[in-house]
């Protein structure tokens, strides 16, 4: 998992944003307002690691990221144990987004909202619930309700008019709430109907009033740069999926093409699957864990608790006059 030094740095870093005990002067900006502020800076690229639960969100916060992305695929796999095939409902997604956003409301959380989960009325409900959950931005796509991951083959796309009706409902719902939440229009049309149709859909989406556009599964660096050129000055989001349809590039290369937001939905999923699978295999085959006998190696359960707010909870209890946790940090 890592060295003791790494554990210490992770746990101490959580106090940067998650101190609930000590009142302090802080910006009144919400996560959505902060995201808008970042996007107003033309030199800024908003980099969002994909998180899917409280632990991966805490790790990303401890690492100092300016924004987080709640991945729909990760939510489906972690909450349901199923691949991203449209099985997660509004309730699944909203609840996960709300929990992640609540860990540090000053850090913007961008969240997958799939197709909006229905027609205009349902899209309105989705946007309302996400906004009230503290989500800074959500994206709505143009796949059919029986959707699938954007980098899988065989996607089915709704008519342009249906897509735009979803977006109109989303923008209207957001405006009626007087919310700062950003609406992101995602199109998966490139695979089925070609690059020009993807461009046309996103240009129409901008006219509807969306804040950011998300062209999924572009197929070359040339397409990526051209999409940014045609969408300007509207911010364009890049989805980085290793092994997916879109060619990989560095953050600086993406900045040079014109992208303003970059999400890495599989970042934590891949790391968790690989590391946990290895630990389980080690215990199964050797009868012990990989860190046994190595003094200071690995991350202890106390390290994990500290990462997830143990000290802040102790401080809250003490300030209220309680003594319930006075022995928590003692020798055991």
pLDDT bin (cut points 50, 70, 90) of residue 64 is very high
Looking at residue 285, its pLDDT comes to 94
Which residues have a Cβ under 8 Å from the Cβ of 244 and sit 6 or more positions away? 151, 217
Q: How far apart are CA 147 and CA 115, in angstroms?
A: 8
Q: Which residue is it, tokens 């979803």?
A: 166
Residue numbers annotated as active site: 69, 84, 112, 114, 139, 141, 149, 186, 216, 239
Residue 104 in this model has a pLDDT that exceeds 90:
yes
Q: How far apart are CA 87 and CA 202, in angstroms?
A: 26
Looking at residue 28, its pLDDT comes to 58
Mean pLDDT of the chain: 87
Which residues is 49 bridged to in the sheet? 264
pLDDT for 71-96, tens place per residue? 999 999 999 999 988 889 999 999 99
pLDDT for 151-199, tens place per residue? 455 568 999 999 999 999 999 999 999 999 999 999 999 999 999 999 9
Q: What is the CATH number of domain 31-272?
A: 3.20.20.60
């Amino acid at each position: 998992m890592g060295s003791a030094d790494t554990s210490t740095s992770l746990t101490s870093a959580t106090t940067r944003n998650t101190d609930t005990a000590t009142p302090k002067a802080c910006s009144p900006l919400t996560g959505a307002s902060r995201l808008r502020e970042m996007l107003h800076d033309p030199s800024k690229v908003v980099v969002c690691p994909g998180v899917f639960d409280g632990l991966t969100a805490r790790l990303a916060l401890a690492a100092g990221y300016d924004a987080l992305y709640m991945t729909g695929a990760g939510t489906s796999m972690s909450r349901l144990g199923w691949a991203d095939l449209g099985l997660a409902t509004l309730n699944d997604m909203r609840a996960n987004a709300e929990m992640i956003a609540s860990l540090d409301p000053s850090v913007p959380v961008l969240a997958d909202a799939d197709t909006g989960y229905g027609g205009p009325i349902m899209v309105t409900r989705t946007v309302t619930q996400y906004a009230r959950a503290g989500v800074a931005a959500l994206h709505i796509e143009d796949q059919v309700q029986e959707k699938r991951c954007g980098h899988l083959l065989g996607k089915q796309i709704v008519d342009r008019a249906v897509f735009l009706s979803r977006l109109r409902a989303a923008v209207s719902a957001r405006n009626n709430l007087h919310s700062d939440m950003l609406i992101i229009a995602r199109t998966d049309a490139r695979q089925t109907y070609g690059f020009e149709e993807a461009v046309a859909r996103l240009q129409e989406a901008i006219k509807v009033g969306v804040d950011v556009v998300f062209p999924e599964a572009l197929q070359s660096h040339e397409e990526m740069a051209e999409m940014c050129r045609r969408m300007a000055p509207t911010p364009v989001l890049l989805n980085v999926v290793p092994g997916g349809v879109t060619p990989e590039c560095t953050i600086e290369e993406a900045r040079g093409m014109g992208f303003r937001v970059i999400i890495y939905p599989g970042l934590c999923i891949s790391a968790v699957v690989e590391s946990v699978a290895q630990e389980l295999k080690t215990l199964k085959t050797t009868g012990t864990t990989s860190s046994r006998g190595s003094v200071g190696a690995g991350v202890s359960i106390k390290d994990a608790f500290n990462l997830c707010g143990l000290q802040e909870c102790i401080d809250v209890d003490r300030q209220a006059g309680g003594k319930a946790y006075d022995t928590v940090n003692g020798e055991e």
